[in-house]
């Protein structure tokens, strides 16, 4: 099998949660470029199509909205759990905020996996969970986010083992410092941004599109024997 055919996603049905912007949008675009039919989700009511993608409303802290979204699908080959939330400035040390963040970033993706499990079992499909480098190191400024992403990484491994017999592959991607809307306010501080940059061996922040290639790989036949893994895309910061 040649390289071009290996990464061909023609005929694959892909769902990207949080696909209206940032990393999610870049993944959706890349999947489409490799032949997939892509549906994206967001929390707003925005019609059946957004920017050329089929669109479904899905709120990670609203279980009925997850079930409702799943009910609209006839089948699915690739599920990408990308949507998430975080709060900076030590807000996550407040118990109510901590609980909300963990609900969105851990319970939410689990509910999505469960809701789409029948479709993925039928297609012998693939799940890709977008975690974070904070799943692998301390997250003192965003403790709930870090704890939830660490939990999601462990869940990735658990589901890979549990659902491997169904032919479902489950993997994770752990982005490092990536320029997105989520960290735009943080990056307004030149000093804070430079402090992060100083710890990156490649000497710069990443861009959202630099995450998409790993997602294409994990969704494609090239990764047919890859499950339970995590690809770090962090410019070397964890090294």
Name the active-site residue from 55, 110, 145, 217: 145
Residue 145 known to be catalytic: yes
- For the CA atoms of 203, 205, 208, 213, the dihedral, rounded to the nearest 10 degrees, stands at 20
Q: Which of 29, 4, 3 is nearest to 14 (CA)?
A: 29
Secondary structure element (H or E) that encloses residue 13, with its range: strand 13-16
Instruction: Dig out the tokens for 119 from the structure.
Output: 């479709």
Q: Where are the alpha helices (DSSP H) in the chain?
A: 3-6, 22-33, 63-71, 95-102, 108-123, 143-162, 190-197, 209-219
Cβ 11 vs Cβ 221: under 8 Å = no
Rounded CA-CA distance 231/36 in Å is: 22
For 184, residues 6+ apart whose C-beta sits below 8 A from its C-beta are none
Cβ 41 vs Cβ 16: under 8 Å = yes
Catalytically annotated residues: 145
């Amino acid at each position: 099998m040649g390289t071009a055919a290996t990464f061909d996603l023609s005929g694959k049905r892909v769902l990207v949660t949080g696909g209206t912007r940032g990393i999610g949008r870049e993944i959706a675009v890349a999947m489409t470029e490799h032949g997939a039919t892509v549906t994206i989700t967001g929390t707003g009511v925005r019609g059946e199509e957004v920017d050329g993608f089929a669109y479904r409303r899905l709120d990670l802290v609203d279980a009925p909205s997850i079930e409702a979204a799943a009910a609209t699908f006839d089948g699915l080959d690739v599920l990408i759990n990308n949507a998430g939330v975080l709060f900076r400035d030590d807000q996550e040390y407040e118990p109510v905020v901590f609980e909300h963040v963990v609900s969105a970033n851990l319970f939410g993706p689990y509910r999505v996996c469960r809701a789409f499990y029948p479709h993925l079992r039928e297609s012998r499909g693939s799940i890709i969970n977008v975690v974070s480098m904070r799943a692998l190191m301390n997250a003192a400024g965003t403790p709930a986010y870090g704890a939830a992403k660490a939990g999601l990484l462990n869940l990735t491994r658990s589901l890979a083992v549990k659902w491997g017999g169904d032919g479902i592959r489950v993997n994770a991607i752990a982005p490092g410092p990536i320029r997105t809307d989520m960290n735009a306010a943080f990056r307004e501080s030149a000093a804070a941004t430079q402090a992060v940059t100083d710890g990156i061996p490649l000497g710069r922040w990443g861009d959202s599109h630099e995450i998409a290639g790993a997602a294409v790989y994990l969704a494609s036949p090239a990764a047919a024997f890859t499950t339970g893994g995590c690809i770090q895309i962090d410019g070397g910061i964890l090294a």
